[in-house]
Amino acid sequence: MSLLKRIERSQEVPDGQASSKLQELRVKRTSPATGSRDAFTDLKNRVQQKLIAELDPSIDINQTSEVRATIQEMFETMLVEEQIVLSRNEKRLLYEQIVAEILGFGPLEPFLSQDGLTEIMVNGPKNIYVERLGKINRVNSSFEDDEHLMRIIDRIVAPLGRRIDESSPMVDARLPDGSRVNAVIPPIALNGPTLTIRLFSKIPLTIDNLVEYGSITREAVEFLKACVVARLNVVVSGGTGSGKTTLLNVLSGFIPDDERIVTIENAAELQLRQEHVVTLESRPPNVENRGAVTIRDLVVNSLRMRPDRIVVGEVRAGEALDMLQAMNTGHDGSLTTAHANSTRDLLARLETMVLMAGMELPHRAIREQISSAIDLIVHTDRLRDGTRKVISISEVQGMEGDVITMSEIFRFEQTSIENGKVIGRLRPTGLRPKFMHRVQAAGIMLPPSIFGIGVRK
């Protein structure tokens, strides 16, 4: 009788997750030495270890198709030699899971290739959650134990020259496709190794996609495009998972192809399509706590690289001061993101981040720097139905006394909630930005209707 004929199947998983079914196929056996064990996991581990031992160490694992063919040939031979009886479907599932362990990221591999997923959250070896369309659900897949999960985390961070251990239990990294990865391990993660992966679309989202999804309107897109081309300094603000990086990536696409762009990030995520792009990535300290290269270091260095545009993935601390200085010293058209609850909160956060640089500057001097450097703030938010939208576009006008003045150009107006879905639209407020003379100087003429001027409501 086939081994998996005796396995009780749990609930069905969505299409595309066939290989993860092996995590759901459970059969228990008890022996004095091992106690209650998963027989299928035992089989997988035994076959996998033997395959690894017999694989040529000099084989180039980057040649995926060739390695898969080699593994499949060895796999078939091993099943015959071991007299393991499996059906065709069972054999395929076992083979795919072993390949995922050797070449990929184990139980995570099926989810990494799925369309529509935006986040994978691993809370210890036995709890895996995914986010789809803004909703979080637990999946029927798991790691064997903490050690298994740690192997996958090491496989992610090692190629980037980063480390994670008890002395450095947190790490930011990225997958080969640019997806953002954060890992936290014991002793600070009490539930076991914790892994969070922010997935990127296989095909980068375009501005047309954002309009189609209702994240932004055509009028706002035309306005933002004009601002980027006219070299206005733009900051994208919002909460975690509100779509800041996606919007920044789209806005950077409006930068003309003949300009030199320097991007600066903690983990390289931006997917710029221009040719003349220099990508810089920060680096954490080594084992001896030396060699760290911070975002602030990279911002300062980028000023010596003759950039036409500086794009900073996110400002979190003292680098905000250097970013403002760059914007104020001839590097117009810079783009960046920052966490904030609103456009007004962003100004307060920037002030705090400048103080984190260790410079004893008067508050008024900091605010003057901010009001002089930043031209436009685009605020994004994740609404209660899980959708991500641009909810405010505001111009930074200047100072009145000790207060930075702003003017909201576009505002999201919610009209209703239908079947749990937020209904509304990003509408112009009827105000015309004071910086329009700079847009016109760039040869761009925007019709008054974009700002709701002369339009009947």
Q: What is the pLDDT of residue 258?
A: 92
List the beta bridge partners of residue 258. none
Q: What is the pLDDT of residue 14?
A: 38
CA–CA separation, 384 and 35 (whole Å): 47
CA–CA separation, 315 and 338 (whole Å): 6
Give, in degrees to the nearest 5, the angle at Cα 199 between 193 and 204: 160
DSSP letter string, 242-285 = SSHHHHHHHHHTTS-TTS-EEEEESS-------SSEEEEE-B--
- pLDDT band of 365, cuts 50, 70, 90: very high
What is the pLDDT of the chain when averaged over all its residues?
Answer: 83
For residues 228 and 221, the answer to whether their CB atoms sit within 8 Å is no
pLDDT digits (tens, 9 = 90+) for 391-412: 999 999 999 999 999 999 999 9
Q: What is the pLDDT of residue 184?
A: 96
**Mean pLDDT computed over 81-93:** 76
Q: Is the pLDDT of residue 456 over 70?
A: no
* pTM tops 0.85, yes or no: no
For residues 251 and 263, the answer to whether their CB atoms sit within 8 Å is no
Q: What is the pLDDT of residue 455?
A: 61
Closest CA to 146 of 200, 194, 211, 89: 194
Residue 325, classed as helix, strand or coil, is: helix
Closest CA to 270 of 366, 341, 174, 363: 174
Which distant-in-sequence residues (6+ apart) come within 8 Å of 54 by Cβ? 74
pLDDT digits (tens, 9 = 90+) for 246-300: 899 999 999 999 999 999 988 778 888 888 999 999 888 877 778 889 999 999 9
Cβ burial 48-80 (10 Å sphere, 16+ → b, else e): beebeeeeeeeeeeeeeeebbebbeeebeeebe
Helix (H) / strand (E) containing 136: strand 135-138
List the beta bridge partners of residue 172. 182
Q: 46 or 130: which carries more pLDDT confidence?
A: 130
Helix (H) / strand (E) containing 426: strand 421-428
CA–CA separation, 192 and 184 (whole Å): 9
Q: What is the pLDDT of residue 39?
A: 61
Q: Is the pLDDT of residue 55 over 70?
A: no
Q: Is the pLDDT of residue 5 over 60?
A: no
Residue 189, classed as helix, strand or coil, is: coil
CA–CA separation, 408 and 365 (whole Å): 24
Q: What is the pLDDT of residue 350?
A: 94
Query: Could you give all domains of the chain from N- to C-terminal order, each with its CATH number?
Result: 1-103 (no CATH), 105-202 (3.30.450.370), 207-451 (3.40.50.300)
- pLDDT band of 7, cuts 50, 70, 90: very low
CA–CA separation, 211 and 214 (whole Å): 5
Give, in degrees to the nearest 5, the angle at Cα 128 between 127 and 134: 130
pLDDT digits (tens, 9 = 90+) for 176-192: 887 889 999 999 999 89
Q: Is the pLDDT of residue 3 over 80?
A: no
Strand 277-281 and strand 261-265: the pairing is parallel
pLDDT digits (tens, 9 = 90+) for 307-343: 999 999 899 999 999 999 999 888 899 999 999 999 9
Quote the percentage of the chain above a pLDDT of 70: 86
Q: Is the pLDDT of residue 132 over 70?
A: yes
Residue 312, classed as helix, strand or coil, is: strand
Cβ burial 16-28 (10 Å sphere, 16+ → b, else e): ebebbbbbbbeee
